[in-house]
Structure 1
Amino acid sequence: MTHPSASRIVGLYSDKAEGWIADRGPRLVAGEPRGLSEIDWFERFMTALPPGGTVLDVGSGSGWPVAAALIERGFRVTGVEPSPGLRAHAAETLPAGEWLDGDMRTLDLGDRRFDGLLAWHSLFHLSPADQRIALPRILSHAADACVFMTSTGQKEGEVIGEWRGEPLYHGSLAAEEYRTIFAAHGFTPNPIDPAEQDEYGNRWVARRG
């Protein structure tokens, strides 16, 4: 049975949008206790994109620091975020981006396709069952040549953390199931190198074309 905190995720970030903006901060994380830093992962992602390419950021939050870093490098970002407060902050502070109301479990942008897809620190807030719905929806918006980056747990299951006095849900599929879903959409992911991962989970950079 899925932990009840899974159904609270959108409400949690909606109710505490200002707290998340303050806690997340405006910059990518430069260092990790072990493994590659957030900056390192995003450098890999951005290097794989064509100059001025399009990026779909699913679970884009406030736009900071992820979309802001992409926009600064000249990429065209479309963010999808269900929290009104976070989405409004992105629209106000990053007018160069496109900010859409939406949930990755029901994502449908028609025939729009993107050079890059992101579900960074967002997909892992869904239950395993919901990830099986959301991940194919995200990958269906890939251009013929595309790079996808996401963060996941290391094995199938749930981990319940705590943030600002409330339970914070995290879910994951097994690594092999992620690989299977990637392959079904023509993506080849990076191998999982323990030396590159942090203590919280796996980082994937999957490429197509």
Structure 2
Amino acid sequence: MPGGDVACHGPAGQYAHVEADDAAGRARQRELVRRGYDAISLAYRSDDGQAASSSAEDVSRYRGWVAELAGLLPAGARVLDLGCGAGIPPTRELVAHGLQVIGVDFSAVQLRRARRLVPAASLVQADMTALHMRSASLDAVVSFYALIHVPLADQRALFPRIRAWLRPGGLFLAIVGARRWTGTERYLGADMFWDHQDTGTYLRWLEATGLAPVWHRYVPEGGSGHSLILARAC
């Protein structure tokens, strides 16, 4: 899954509001994303890590984010990558820093590529909203452009679980929405679903679950953008 980092969403495009309050509706939205990434895996990101319609800056910024995180972690730290997709660039960069990486994604096509491209990572095909991990077993959790595809109710329910998986002082680094939006669009030839809150809401949600925000940065994406948030487990 991770995705949508080169798309601009909102009233300027063709979209439909499809927010679902019921569990079955949210499951259908997640399934739309899974099928979408099965279909567009290579179009979304090539084996060299380059994203569709992007420049070398796209790859270099992942390297910068991962390097900054790695500098805050102990050697050999255990890191969970939620929505790792094909494993490039972030999962591969995490491994390159000597970290023990567990990558999770629910797209079979993406995971098949990740196993080939990042063989040193432990990779699991699973829906992050149903993932089980041992409490206090991780030094960090990362999620780049993946949470923005998860229905908001499921996102909010995931944050306390992430906190439980982290050791005290563990770090959570994620790309989330910068403004409120939900909808579906055609993306690289497939139907895709997005759902995200504004930055302030995410900061409040994290703090309420024991993940204290350390900093947040706006990441511009064409005419729109996302927020990169670092939080620490209290």
Whichever residue aligns with residue 57 of structure 2, its letter is: G
1:2 and 2:19 are equivalent in the alignment: yes
User: Is the alpha carbon distance of 1:54 and 1:124 closer, same or farther for their aligned partners in structure 2, counting shifts above 3 Å?
Assistant: same
Aligned to 1:197: 219
Structure 1 position 132, deviation (Å): 1.6
Aligned to 1:106: 130
Aligned to 1:97: 121
Whichever residue aligns with residue 102 of structure 1, its letter is: A
Matches of 1:161 and 1:61, distance apart in 2: 20
Identity within the alignment, %: 22
Aligned to 2:49: 26
Structure 1 position 111, deviation (Å): 3.4
Whichever residue aligns with residue 149 of structure 2, its letter is: H
The gaps in structure 2 that reach 5 residues or longer are: 1-17
Which runs of structure 2 are paired with 1:58-77 in the superposition (5 Å)? 58-77=82-101
Structure 1 position 130, deviation (Å): 2.2
- Given the two structures, how large is their TM-score scaled by the length of structure 2? 0.75
Aligned to 1:115: 139
Structure 1 position 133, deviation (Å): 2.3
Aligned to 1:45: 69
Whichever residue aligns with residue 133 of structure 1, its letter is: A
Whichever residue aligns with residue 138 of structure 2, its letter is: F
Matches of 2:110 and 2:174, distance apart in 1: 20
Whichever residue aligns with residue 2 of structure 1, its letter is: E
Whichever residue aligns with residue 177 of structure 1, its letter is: T
RMSD after superposition: 2.7
The gaps in structure 1 that reach 5 residues or longer are: none
Whichever residue aligns with residue 103 of structure 2, its letter is: G
Structure 1 position 173, deviation (Å): 2.0
Aligned to 1:208: 233
- Given the two structures, how large is their TM-score scaled by the length of structure 1? 0.83
Task: State the SS of the aligned residue for 1:116.
Answer: strand
1:12 and 2:36 are equivalent in the alignment: yes
